[in-house]
Structure 1
């Protein structure tokens, strides 16, 4: 008897726990219950945000969109301050609230998969290449701790391996094809495989030991001496100062000449008195003001 009672009691407790969990984060079967849960959660988020604003002093906004077509609800975009929304509309080109909500909803309903929005294989390949390049750069920044580091594919051995003691493993196209993702072929299987390897962590950067770095440096120097690696030529003025030559002080534009004519001015005035054939040009007679009145000079 006690065994049966305890069994039913435990079963009742488990059922009660399942019911409570389903109310909190379980899947609602009807469209009406989904909509009610959505609106209630939105109101709860707003209340929590207002409380945080009153206690700490924050401003912000959030956007909620559905991820399923089993119920119908419009995207909900909320601002803690109406002036904040107005400011963003005026200063961000194309900041349309309805458009942002609809685009976010379409993307989420599609499963957050970019490939569903890229219709041609060329567009899909370009997207994968861009994402691979960004993932490689992010991984390099994370392992070096240097946010300003720049990935160098052509001089990877010297600029990354020897300089930072870092190498990459799991590059699915092969070590001989470790090149800029933009230069890879547009083969979607190849790009998808590399993309998945970077996402899963099978393709990653690793730190080398001091002995490994030393061995790689010796091998690199040997290849350079053998002419297998093309390096940049050293500047002739390496180690010297690279100051800019002083500017010449010339006559500023708009500056008037002095009252005293220069030799060039006198020569130019003399040359202007005669034309190319040596015939003197006629000169204007100068008026002379006399004491008794105005008259022409004789």
Structure 2
């Protein structure tokens, strides 16, 4: 049998004056102080009784506390199972917030849910309820363990957590007499948080009086050590940003290679449209609007934004998706319109540095080629020693050449070369003889030179 929750009874709202609200607040605070004082007095008496029993019976204080069940509250298990009705209300509240609807707040929200969505909840199947519970559990886990993206959220989380810890340690000291010292400092430069020191009353002056260590100096040194060993906050920030960018680029290329099937595919930020969208017919979907879609070195230099991008790629909020033909045509038309309006400027090739300059020479014009100097000389020169004794003559030029035709030239050849030059350099005789079977060629040339004559003949 399914029970239906009865609708709450509505009561008229009473509007109090300013003086009445102030008086009511004062009374509530007074009652709270009296209640806390009574509790502290009770705990003090209990502690004294525990000490008396322990000393009279030769037992430890811990043994007496355990026997009195003073730690039973810590042994109780908290209720962690989510209720389907609570998850349903959470889902409706999320939808209303996404739609930015102006609805009532506080207790009126539950009344509206009962009136408007009570029947819808009763019609839900068990599978849908289980799905809502799983979604809520994932959201709660992310809210509890997720990374805070803004400095304000980080500072609020740290402040509230430390306040709760200090209250629990103070109560623990009252219950058990345990003394505690703890230090808290930031571990990165992107968090504007001062060092926090907490010590219970019994050890408040221990570090300064006994250890001769100033608490603020100790916290400053610990903070410097936490920020990468005192090497400098700026360098540490740059290194962390560089590591995050490398991790983001790696996961982008990894998922791009997986969807394209090309193990060599890489992200092209400048030619994203031509080399990614047109080449593979895919598009990057889910990129946050707060971060420009361009190279990560230019897009962002803050750690929270880079961590957010890495978390979104890892969780699948940002992913590569194949385009339908109609989607591609629509994107192409929008791009052409932006190009015509000047919003997008097409990237062109860079011009040559020597554009407009006249070249020194061209390979097609043979007249501009440098001619290679050719040296021609006889392969073999024969010199005759008889001409060394030839007397000087003003001018002498004798050339004799005898040639006999031959029908056949044998493979064997004989060549003799002799060259003689006088010490005075006034006469030179050269004789060359080539003989072969069936062929004879004789050439004799004599050149004379006398320093007394200006011309060479």
TM-score after normalising by structure 1 = 0.40
Relative contact order: is structure 1 or structure 2 higher (C-alpha 8 Å, sep ≥ 6)?
1
TM-score (norm 2): 0.27
Higher Cα radius of gyration: 2
